[in-house]
Chains A and B, each alone.
Chain A
Amino acid sequence: MAKEELPGVLILDIGGTQGVLENLAALLKKHFHLITMKEFLENKEEMSKKIQSVFVFECRPTIDRELLESLPNLKVIGNSGVGVDHLDLKMISSFGVKVTNTPHAVADPTADIGMALMLASARRLVEGCQIAVSPDTKHFAVDWLGVEVTRATLGIIGMGSIGYKVAQRARAFNMRILYHNRNRRRKEEEEAVGAHYCEKMEDLLQQSDFVMLIVNLTPETHRLIGKKELSLMKPTATLINISRGAVIDQDALVEALQSKVIRAAALDVTYPEPLPRDHPLLKLNNVIITPHIGTATVQAIHMMAEEAIANILAVLNGQPIPSEVFPK
């Protein structure tokens, strides 16, 4: 099919620090006429009619009212990733545009990152690597110790697909698993991973050696973990966040880490991303921060693009949509 006959998809850019990776662009080109934001802005009249979809990669391009008004034939926004807190679902819906996400592609790699951060924090991996290569190191101190993961208690806040996969992995480390969720899981699901439901989040916080946040960001989960919740945690406990930065009150977290109210934190997400370079979280030695790499694998990026493409095509072809997201 000639390039111009394929439905148009708008992306921010190809390559660079903000754009879609080259090989993903190639994937998109198989099904769509790829239009970058620059091309669109340079030739609005012609391009605006061609754009039937937008591929949102790492929250870019920003979807605002102005953009939606300028795309008369827009039918779908295909988000790469599962979180859609960066999209105004009501506003987009008011234009008759559908929104889709990619829940399947993100689950495994994000669960893996949760486990990676928990293990790295517990065993002081980043610090250990620094010691191993430091020019000042003459010997390895024998009283330099981390904390045990095997048989420790993991409290999972948010037991959706990703939370459940974390529970499956943690079980293999003989961890005792507690979870807190809007809804309780079925008994068979709980038994399969040995997870105990904590109706009160406070109970989970008080008993856990590791607390892992795996919720969606919604008005209800905004600042879910604040001063009160941190003070309920054990002083030997570690907080791991793989959900969204805004689920935690960051100022309260800094305070808690500085005064050893909790032992450590490992954050794949912050608010904003990235943090300003003078932010106290960057200086604390009991924090590991990673730049939102939950789905940053060669394979996952590819799978997310394929899942987004499948969703976009389903919308454009009037077929059942695998993962549509609706405003509340």
Chain B
Amino acid sequence: MEGGELPGLLVNEIGGICGILHSHVAFLRKHFYLITMKELLENRKHLSRKVQAIYLWWHKPVIDRELLQSLPNLKVIANSGVGMDHLDLKLVASFGVKMANAPRAVCSSTADAGMALLLASARRLVEVHHIAISSSMDYCEADILGVKVSGATLGIIGMGRIGYKIALRAKAFEMKILYHNRTQRKAQEEQAVGATYCEKIDSLLQQADFVMVAVSLTPQTRNLIGKRELELMKPTATLVNISRGAVVDQEALVMALQTGVIWAAALDVTYPEPLPRDHPLLKLKNVIITPHLGIKTDKTTYMITEEAVENILAALNGLPMPSEVLPS
């Protein structure tokens, strides 16, 4: 890049509740002149022209028409993470602004989290940890017995990059793998993980001991798992959700868990996040909920920022973007 100013990158804030991680700032400043929302609002006249890119960290800053209208030189919005359901893709595109997500960076870490939740739920890890450290030492074998993972049947709903990485991991546990996806994967890909395609989701739901939801949130997948789907599942089955809370009908899930329609659930995502403190899901013994930790590792968060920067620089230099997202 020629001498002179670095392109302006708008971020919500640095540090704090939902800001860019301090540990990423030095790397970002190598390529960009960082502008926070606060700075932008305090000095709109001067700074709004400088903003050429926005880096969304956990969906912030919120991208609305007003913001887009106020940034005449905005060329690209890069999202931290792969889900784009919080963005109005058509609106952004109508301003001639490109968008990118970070599909490569998130996969392994999210697949690891899916497996962590599956194993923790099956083996009642959280429950028995509390028994192990509680002041009372009385418990029966029955209180701590879990269910097997090795050799059990895993049904993956959504066999994209993340779903496939889950299949690779599950195969090593000698799990029988079924999957349901918009499109069937190539034969070699199926064989590599020993996965069987279920064209109908019903077939997967009826056979699986563990149902892992790894789809993107779209109008088609909203409430994908509702009363009907839960009732098709085995009463001994566990639902694991690492996609988006809104993919599961939460009321139906509460009902199903309370009445033993399914055995248990493990949720890294809910709607909203966090749930209201009096929500029934927080009180059920057969649920574990984690705070959307799918990508929350030191390495992966850094890789996400690297992937975002790659996309932004490509867009600003008029080159093809590694992970451009177009409106459907």
Contact = CB atoms under 8 A, between A and B. Distances in A.
Q: Do A and B come from one complex?
A: yes
Contacts of B174: 108
A148 B300 contact: yes
A119 B115 contact: yes
A122 B274 CA distance: 22
A296 B144 contact: yes
A308 to B, nearest CB: 16
Interface string A147-159: 1111100000000
Interface stretch (B31-39, B82-90, B129-137, B243-251): B129-137
B1 interface: no
Interface in A146-187: 146-151, 168-174
Contacts of A151: 108
B252 interface: no
B25 interface: no
Contacts of A301: 141, 145
Nearest to A275: B132
A131 interface: yes
Contacts of A135: 277
Given A119-B119, A297-B148, A17 B108 contact: no
Contacts of A128: 290-291, 293
Contacts of A15: 140
A149 B150 CA distance: 19
Contact of A21 (B18, B112, B142, B297): B142
A139 B108 contact: no
Contacts of A124: 293
Interface stretch (B71-79, B165-173, B225-233, B315-323): B165-173
Given A119-B116, A148-B298, A126 B17 contact: no
A151 B111 CA distance: 13
Nearest to A169: B172
A135 B14 CA distance: 27
Contact of B297 (A126, A146, A274): A146
B126 A150 contact: no
Interface residues of B, number: 66
Interface in B224-274: 273-274
Interface residues of A, number: 62
B123 A289 contact: no
B132 A289 contact: yes
A174 B169 CA distance: 9
Instruction: Kindly list the 10 A-B residue pairs having the minimum CB-CB distance in the complex, ordered from nearest.
Output: A172-B172, A119-B116, A116-B119, A150-B108, A108-B150, A132-B289, A140-B291, A148-B299, A128-B290, A289-B132
A109 to B, nearest CB: 6
A295 B138 CA distance: 19
B15 A149 contact: no
B274 A138 contact: yes
B19 interface: yes
Nearest to B146: A297
Contacts of B128: 290-291, 293, 296
B137 A277 contact: yes
A133 B289 contact: yes
B119 A115 contact: yes
A270 to B, nearest CB: 9
A144 interface: yes
A27 interface: no
Contacts of B282: 132-133
B120 interface: yes
A263 to B, nearest CB: 12
A13 B275 CA distance: 45
A174 B108 contact: yes
Interface in B12-36: 15, 17-19, 21-22
A140 B292 contact: yes
Given A111-B150, A150-B112, A169-B173, 18 more contacts: A108-B151, A112-B173, A116-B123, A122-B297, A126-B126, A137-B274, A142-B57, A144-B293, A145-B297, A146-B296, A147-B299, A174-B108, A274-B137, A282-B132, A290-B132, A291-B131, A300-B148, A301-B145
A123 B148 contact: no
A144 B22 CA distance: 12
Most buried by B among A117, A129, A140, A274: A129
A125 interface: yes
A225 to B, nearest CB: 20
Contacts of A94: none
Nearest to A299: B148
Contacts of A141: 17
B235 to A, nearest CB: 14
Interface in A73-112: 108-109, 111-112
A174 B165 CA distance: 11
B41 to A, nearest CB: 21
A293 B301 CA distance: 33
A113 interface: yes
A293 B296 contact: no
B148 A129 contact: no
Contacts of A120: 116, 119-120, 125
Most buried by A among B119, B133, B139: B133
Nearest to B151: A108
B288 interface: yes
B109 interface: yes
B17 A142 contact: yes
B146 A296 contact: yes
B291 A290 contact: no
Contacts of B141: 21, 58, 296, 301
A140 B274 contact: yes
B63 interface: no
B148 A125 contact: no
Interface string A274-311: 10010000100000111101001111110000000000
Interface in A1-22: 15-17, 21
Contacts of B95: none
B58 A129 contact: no
